[in-house]
Amino acid sequence: MKKNVLAVFAIAALSLTACKKESSVETGDAVETTTPSTEAVKYTAQAADSKIEWEGGKVSGGKHMGTINLKEGEVFVKDGKVTNGKFVIDMNSINVTDLTDAEEKAGLEGHLKGATDENADHFFNTKKYPNGTFEITNVTEENGKQMVEGNLTLKEVSHSIKFPATITVTDNDVTVVSDAFNIDRTKWGVNFNSGSVVKDLAGDKVIKDEITIKLSVKATK
């Protein structure tokens, strides 16, 4: 696998399928979580009906996209509103969807997962950190839009993020579908070929810090 090809693919890392209006989210210190109310109803996330989409690319152009699976999760609802939730992300399920060449696809997926000793910590080092998590800490409304706040943990680093989403609650299920939004991967120590971390990189080597993410989760009673 050519190194320059791997570098192009690299940024794909944790982004989720992009939309043209994606916006960067504010990243802060992880916030304290609360225990769900005893009156809250638990819904169990359905991994087969949920997905995380990502997109990333080089500063000079070129991008890749793919998916990551949920391993498990739960959402708590009280009085028809989501109050808490936690999802476990299966980082070993990182999948590249825009490549049809089997060798290139396997090469990029292996690089993102850190399949060799040489590239183990370039991105997600899934042997050491097989799971990520996202824990909902609050759901608010801003300018008529639902905003989900929570702690995203990758490589044992946790930061709070807030993003817009459409949340639908029925007697039988809950769906949470985010707008596309960007996160700064370097906040979680995903620094490979980042121009803000690695100095004097050639222009065609620099990978964007921003990863675009779109989350879709379905949970049922």
Per-residue pLDDT tens over the stretch 93-121 = 999 999 999 999 999 999 999 999 999 99
The pLDDT value given to residue 19: 38
C-beta separation of 106 from 116 below 8 A: no
Structural domains of the chain ordered from first start: 3-220 (2.40.128.110)
Q: How many CA atoms lie within 13 A of 32 on its CB side?
A: 2
Distance CA 109, CA 107 (A): 6
Torsion, Cα 94 99 101 106, to 10 degrees, reads -20
What are the phi and psi torsion angles at 8 (to 5°)? -65, -40
Instruction: Using alpha carbons only, give the angle 145, 146, 149 rounded to the nearest 5 degrees.
Output: 135
Using 70 as the pLDDT threshold, list the residues of the chain that sit under it: 1-23
The pLDDT value given to residue 22: 54
Separation in Å, CA 145 to CA 141, 164, 169: 5, 7, 15
The pLDDT value given to residue 10: 45
